[in-house]
């Protein structure tokens, strides 16, 4: 009986050690194809599940719509947004940022086979994006004053811009590395059959969003001048763009959805067409 107790304790200890090893392995981005799929499914389910709950908690009378409300309004405790359940959105962004780091390391393990410097640059930009996504959750889009001249929303806007810039630069860096591999004279490390449509779709959406936002500055100026000439009242650039193809909230939401899908698809493609590193 004593020996049985010792054996049971040894088994429990061994199981704990194996579990810790797997956690450390996953945290460092050392996924195999099966575990990667499980991780991505878990990551997507938790993040979008929390976003769905944040949407459900948004007061019906405030009429949330991607045509008029930015993604961050789900996490704003202003009375005109979501004063009760705003924290679910913040929790979602904290989870997204933290869960992205193992994914970045997984991507890094592939690209460092091609270029160590390039892989480090790509990982740095994506980690920058992930870290500032966490800060977006910590600093919601609210007008609560921090100092006499700075409000929480001021910090929110700046960290959101840096987060977006980090992800975009990271994706461009990896795209440049893929082009280098595709057109190098030596043997190719990646199979490129799925990367082209992935990047094509992402770039089309990205540049379409930029196009409509830039075009709106000229369209708005013309409409405002016409309204002034006729003596009619005319709203701000933000309000007049609502519920049109020029709406900033519309394209911000679309780009965030697209970015998440891009990162998940890129990891899945790398699990098949990338030069995985086992160390």
Looking at residues 143-165, what average pLDDT do you find? 95
**What is the DSSP annotation of 60-97?**
GGG---TTTS-GGGGG--STTS-TTTHHHHHHHHHHHH
pTM above 0.85, yes or no: yes
The pLDDT score that the predictor gives to residue 233 is 83
The predicted pLDDT at position 67 comes to: 96
Kindly report which listed range (21-30, 101-110, 189-198, 268-277) carries the lowest average pLDDT score. 21-30
pLDDT at position 19 over 70: no
3-state helix, strand, coil in the chain (%, to 5): 75, 0, 25
Distance CA 106, CA 230 (A): 59
- What's the token pair of residue 268? 């899945």
The pLDDT-based confidence of 189 (bands split at 50, 70, 90) is: confident
Q: What is the mean pLDDT of the chain?
A: 89
| Residue range 12-19: mean pLDDT, rounded | 48
Q: What pLDDT digit, counting tens, does each position of 245-267 carry?
A: 999 999 999 999 999 999 999 99
SS3 at position 145: strand
Give the phi and the psi of residue 151 in degrees, each rounded to 5: -110, 165
User: What is the per-residue pLDDT for 113?
Assistant: 87
């Amino acid at each position: 009986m004593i020996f049985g107790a010792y054996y049971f304790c040894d088994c429990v200890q061994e199981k704990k050690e194996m579990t810790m090893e797997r956690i450390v392995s996953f945290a460092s981005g050392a996924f195999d194809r099966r575990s990667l799929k499980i991780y991505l499914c878990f990551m997507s389910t938790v993040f979008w599940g929390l976003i769905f709950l944040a949407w459900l908690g948004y007061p019906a009378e405030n009429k949330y719509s991607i045509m008029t409300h930015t993604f961050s309004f789900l996490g704003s405790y202003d009375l005109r947004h979501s004063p009760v359940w705003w924290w679910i959105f913040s929790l979602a962004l904290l989870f997204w940022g933290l869960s992205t780091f193992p994914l970045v390391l997984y991507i890094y393990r592939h690209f460092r086979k091609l270029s160590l410097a390039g892989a480090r640059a790509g990982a740095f930009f994506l980690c920058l994006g992930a870290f500032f996504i966490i800060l977006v959750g910590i600093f919601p889009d609210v007008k609560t004053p921090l100092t006499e001249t700075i409000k929480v929303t001021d910090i929110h806007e700046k960290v959101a811009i840096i987060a977006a810039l980090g992800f975009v630069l990271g994706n461009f860096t990896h795209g440049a590395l893929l082009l280098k591999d595709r057109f190098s004279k030596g043997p190719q490390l990646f199979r490129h059959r799925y990367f082209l449509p992935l990047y094509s779709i992402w770039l089309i959406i990205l540049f379409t969003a930029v196009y409509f936002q830039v075009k709106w500055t000229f369209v708005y100026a013309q409409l405002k001048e016409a309204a002034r000439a006729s003596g009619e009242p005319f709203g701000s650039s933000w309000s007049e763009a609502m519920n049109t193809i020029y709406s900033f909230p519309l394209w911000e939401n679309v780009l965030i959805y697209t970015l998440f899908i891009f990162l998940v698809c890129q990891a899945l493609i790398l699990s098949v067409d990338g030069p995985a590193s086992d160390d």
